[in-house]
Amino acid sequence: MVYQNTWDMDQVFPGGSDSPQFYEKLAELEKKNARFAEWVNEWNADNDRPDYHTFAEILKEHEALSKGLGEARTFMSGLASADTSDAKARTNLNRIANHYKQLSNTLVVLQKKIGDFSQNDFDELLKIEPFNERAFALTEIREESQKLLSTEEEELLNHLSIDGFQGWGDMYNELVSTIRVPFKEGGKVNVYSAGQAENKMSGETDTKKRDEMLRIWENTWKDKDHLFATTLNHLAGFRLADQKAHGINDFMEPPLEYNRMQEETLDAMWQVISENKAKIVDYFNRKAELLNLDQLSWLDVTAPINLGNFEAKEYTFTEAADFIIDNFKRFSPKMAELSQQAFNEKWIEAEDRPGKRPGGYCANLPESEQSRIFMTFSGTSDNVSTLAHELGHAFHSSVLRDLPLLNQRYAMNVAETASTLAELVVSDATIENADSETEKITLLDEKVARSATMMMNIHARYLFEKSFYEERQDGIVTAERLSELMLAAQKEAYEDALKTYHPMFWAAKLHFYSTGVPFYNFPYTFGYFFSLGIYARALEADASFEDEYIALLRDTASMTTEDLAQKHLNVDLTQPDFWQDVMNQVHADVDEFLNLTKKYV
């Protein structure tokens, strides 16, 4: 069987970005959105007691509207990704975004009304269906609402944030687009954008050239460091003022709440990681030897090691599909089955051709009860792992599908559970499947480097952001000070094991300027090692593991992270044990790497 490597979007709405059926759908959603706003505005909870029939209808309507919008958005953003010249798709995406904005305005009104319930009424409400099943989400919505200011004030804040907070976020993108990196190549100077320069640096195999590139890269950002510092200071300043207005005095509270986790869990994770960094330093030292260096520089950590020539294994799309399905089967037959369906029903856009946007993602089609996966597949082992990763996301969506929508909104720290797990299953299999020892070492090196990134690079981001926010509370933090804080964070996170660092990282890394959630860093490390912990259990467990795993995924949006781990893994995330088990796996990978590479030094 040969699988098609382009997706079928016509079964969602026929005719591409100008599809008449899509416009019909949009018109229908517009009407629904307006009607929903009316319902919510008119709804009086006191008159709705004791069975809250209208409230139940409102939840039902919200679900239908959200599903419709989700379907439209996945369709249209898919078309925009698959053909970046499709201007109509972009215009239509904008239309959908406006519908979302209208819906979110209505939801604020609804949230305030839920917040206005007396505690007694709310407790009674949660005893009856359909509210009981959604108790966790409704309680969360109610608790968040307690922090809200008046509707007028919230609206004013939203309006101001467009030209304030969001404005500074836009400013960052503008500034980045002016970055020009002059790299010397073959006797002449080529000028690159920030994104291009990053690709150049990560692909460079000559260690001396890498050092030179990092020096130029640092200087390029430093030339504009005051502009970036102003932008970062205002973003954080707006955020702190907004938090203060809502009675929040601890800047760690929102990111922890958003990820539904306790500070104790975060501290336990970083503590255990820190205690286990010596092993990663051993890996650094061996990698330095393999690269003929005394010590690794910043860019060397994730650089490829060259142990002589080997033909890297290549996979056709169909070979990748069979390989993934076979390996999934050993771990979870249901995940294999879902993946088989994705290939059969053409959910995946993987063709390697010009005009596609970079990167990969998986998006849900809630009405079609399918997913769509976007990526560019050129046949590498890495591509096979990415494809498995996205299929993991599709599997997560599929096991949540029959749940209430409010029980499907999982946070960022657990969003990558199924995908990371699927990727681990397949990337370990590609390591086993390597044609030569040198290829095996290369793949293993990528895996260990990834753990090192989670343990050190992300840790440095977290340490920097924390010290920056602490100082920002007392006023503007200068560009020079930001670089000092970053250098200190990197030295601490990397155990002082590198020869050079990247002090301008605070300007070069987009994540510090994200207007979505603050501390867009620790959820990565959490998510990766949480999955690794589940993976370890899967390797030891019997067939019953699959059902337990699915039960865990189904609960990802219905309880706190600690409860999730306690209920399904029987572990206490606030204690070191779980994290140490995970670190032992990292040790095993490093030991294998050290063993295999012994004869090459």
| CA–CA separation, 356 and 77 (whole Å) | 12
Q: How far is the CB of 362 from Zn ion (least distance, A)?
A: 7
Tokens representing 253 are 């509270």
Q: Which is nearer to Zn ion, 19 or 419 (CB)?
A: 419
Any bridge partners for residue 371, and if so which? 364
C-alpha to C-alpha distance for 230 and 148, rounded to whole angstroms: 29
Shortest distance, position 393 Cβ to Zn ion, whole Å: 6
C-beta closer to Zn ion: residue 349 or 439:
349
Using a 10 angstrom Cβ sphere, with 0-12 exposed, 13-18 middle and 19 or more buried, the burial of residue 20 is exposed
Question: Which range binds Zn ion by CB under 5 A, 71-79, 168-176, 260-268, 417-425?
Answer: 417-425
Pairing of strands 370-374, 348-349: parallel
Nearer to Zn ion, 391 or 452 (CB): 391
Task: Give the CB-side neighbour count of residue 143, counting CA atoms within 13 A.
Answer: 10
CB-based contacts of 366, cutoff 8 Å, min separation 6:
66, 67, 70, 71, 401, 405
Q: Which stretch binds Zn ion (CB under 5 A): 1-9, 286-294, 413-421, 511-519?
A: 413-421
Closer residue to Zn ion (CB): 428 or 439: 428
Give the nearer residue to Zn ion in terms of CB position, either 441 or 454.
454
CB 537 → Zn ion: shortest distance, Å? Answer: 21
Task: Tell me which stretch binds Zn ion (CB under 5 A): 97-105, 305-313, 396-404, 415-423.
Answer: 415-423
Stretch that binds Zn ion, among 292-300, 412-420, 476-484, 551-559 (CB under 5 A): 412-420
What minimum distance in Å lies between the beta carbon of 389 and Zn ion? 6
Q: Which is nearer to Zn ion, 165 or 374 (CB)?
A: 374
Nearest C-alpha neighbor of 231 from the set 160, 173, 157: 173
386 binds Zn ion (CB under 5 A): no
According to CB under 5 A, which residues from 333 to 362 bind Zn ion?
none
Distance CA 302, CA 448 (A): 9
Q: What is the nearest approach in angstroms of Zn ion to the Cβ of residue 59?
A: 29
Minimum distance of Zn ion from residue 414's CB (angstroms) = 12
Contact criterion met (CB below 8 Å) for 220 and 192: no
Are 148 and 112 in contact, with CB atoms under 8 Å apart? yes
Structural element, H or E, at residue 208:
helix 207-222
Least distance between Zn ion and beta carbon 449 (Å)? 18
The Cα–Cα gap between 99 and 12 comes to 19
Beta-carbon contacts of residue 36 (< 8 Å; ≥ 6 apart): 58, 61, 62, 65, 103, 106
Question: Which of the stretches 22-30, 411-419, 441-449, 467-475 binds Zn ion when contact is defined by CB under 5 A?
Answer: 411-419
Residue among 231 and 259 whose Cβ is closer to Zn ion: 259
Least Cβ distance, residue 77 to Zn ion (angstroms): 16
CA dist., res. 270 & res. 392, Å (int): 26
Q: Give the residue with the Cβ less far from Zn ion, 225 or 390.
A: 390
Least distance (Å) between residue 380 CB and Zn ion: 18
Interface with Zn ion in residues 451-510 (CB under 5 A) = none
Q: Residue 296 in contact with residue 552, Cβ under 8 Å?
A: no
> Of residues 419, 430, 467, 521, which one binds Zn ion by CB under 5 A?
419
d(CA 364, CA 342): 12
Beta carbon nearer to Zn ion, 383 or 419: 419
CB half-sphere exposure, 522, CA atoms < 13 A:
25
Question: 408 or 419: whose CB is closer to Zn ion?
Answer: 419
Task: Give me the least distance between CB of 436 and Zn ion, in Å please.
Answer: 30
CA distance 533 to 565: 10
Q: Are 501 and 460 in contact (CB under 8 A)?
A: no
Q: At what angle do helices 417-432 and 317-331 cross, to 10 degrees?
A: 110
Q: Which residue, 339 or 419, is less far from Zn ion as judged by CB?
A: 419
Q: Which is nearer to Zn ion, 232 or 362 (CB)?
A: 362
* Spacing of C-alpha 328 from chain mean position: 22
**In the bound complex, what is the minimum distance in angstroms from residue 416's beta carbon to Zn ion?**
5
Q: How far is the CB of 419 from Zn ion (least distance, A)?
A: 4
Using CB under 5 A as the binding rule, the residues of this chain from 66 to 85 that contact Zn ion are none
Minimum CB distance to Zn ion smaller for 77 or for 419 = 419
How far is it, in rounded angstroms, from Cα 77 to Cα 80? Answer: 5
Size of the residue set binding Zn ion (CB under 5 A): 1
Closest-approach residue to Zn ion (CB): 419
Which residues make Cβ contacts (< 8 Å) with residue 24, sequence separation at least 6? none
Supply the DSSP symbol for 362.
E
Q: Which one of the spans 102-110, 144-152, 240-248, 414-422 is the region binding Zn ion (CB under 5 A)? A: 414-422
Q: Using the minimum distance from each CB to Zn ion, give the nearer residue, 5 or 419.
A: 419
Residue 47 CB, shortest distance to Zn ion, in Å, is 45
The whole-angstrom separation of Cα 293 and Cα 306 is: 13
Helix (H) / strand (E) element for 233: namely helix 225-245
The amino acid present at 524, given as its one-letter code, is Y
First-to-last C-alpha distance (Å) of the chain = 45
CB of 549 to Zn ion, least distance (A): 17
Point out which residues bind Zn ion (CB under 5 A): 419
